Amino acid sequence: MASRVPKQGPSTLAVHGGEPRAKALNAITMPIAQTSTYTFADTQELCDHFERRIEREEYGRYGNPTQRAAEQKLAALDGAEDGLLFASGMAAVTTTMFAILSRGAHVVVTDDAYRRTRQFLNQTLRRYGVEVSTVPAGDYDRLEEAVRPTTRVIFSESPTNPYNRIVDLERLVDIARRRRVKTVIDSTFATPINQRPLEFGVDLVIHSATKYLGGHNDLMAGAVLGSAALISGVRDLQGITGAVPDPLAAYLLIRGIKTLALRVARQNENAVRIADFLAGHPKVERVHYPSLPSHPEHELAKRQMSGFGGVVSFEVRGDIHSGTRLVDACRIPRIAPSLGGVESLIEQPALMSFYELTTEERLQVGIKDTLVRYSVGVEDADDLIADLGQALERV
| pLDDT per residue as tens digits for the range 93-113 | 999 999 999 999 999 999 989
Domain 261-392 in this protein, CATH class = alpha beta
The Cα angle at residue 45 between residues 39 and 48, in degrees rounded to 5? 130
Ranges for all domains in the chain classified under CATH 3.90.1150.10: 261-392
pLDDT 10s digits, 12-67: 999 999 898 888 888 999 999 999 999 999 999 999 999 999 999 999 999 999 99
List 196, 211, 263, 368, catalytic entry: 211
The whole-number average pLDDT for the span 108-129 is 94
Please tell me the predicted confidence (pLDDT) of residue 2. 47
Mean pLDDT of the chain: 95
Return the C-alpha torsion angle 64, 70, 76, 77, nearest 10.
-160
Quick check: is 61 catalytic? yes
DSSP-derived pairing of the beta strands 284-288 and 311-316: antiparallel
pLDDT band per the 50, 70, 90 thresholds, residue 360 = confident
Question: What three-state secondary structure class fits 372?
Answer: strand
Please tell me the predicted confidence (pLDDT) of residue 355. 67
Quick check: is 186 catalytic? yes
pTM flag (> 0.75) = yes
Quick check: is 140 catalytic? no
Question: What three-state secondary structure class fits 4?
Answer: coil
The Cα angle at residue 76 between residues 75 and 80, in degrees rounded to 5? 45
pLDDT 10s digits, 281-300: 999 999 999 999 999 999 99
Residue 17 CA to its chain's centroid (Å): 19
Quick check: is 114 catalytic? yes
List 78, 112, 186, 369, catalytic entry: 186
List 38, 48, 61, 283, catalytic entry: 61
Has domain 10-257 been given CATH number 3.30.465.10? no
The Cα angle at residue 249 between residues 245 and 253, in degrees rounded to 5? 115
1 vs 62, which has greater pLDDT?
62
Question: What three-state secondary structure class fits 188?
Answer: coil
- Cα(348)–Cα(339) distance, integer angstroms: 13
User: 99: which residues sit within 8 A by CB, 6+ positions away?
Assistant: 233, 234, 236, 237
Terminal C-alpha separation, the chain: 68
Ranges for all domains in the chain classified under CATH 3.40.640.10: 10-257
Question: Which DSSP helix (H) or strand (E) runs through 28?
Answer: none
Longest Cα–Cα distance in the chain? 74
The residue type of 28 is: I
Put the strands of the sheet holding 131-135 in their side by side order.
Answer: 82-86, 222-226, 204-208, 182-186, 151-157, 106-110, 131-135
The whole-number average pLDDT for the span 138-159 is 97
Omega cis (within 30) before 290? no
In this structure, how many other beta carbons lie within 10 angstroms of the beta carbon of residue 88?
18
List 114, 212, 289, 374, catalytic entry: 114
* DSSP-derived secondary structure letter, 7: P
Please tell me the predicted confidence (pLDDT) of residue 1. 43
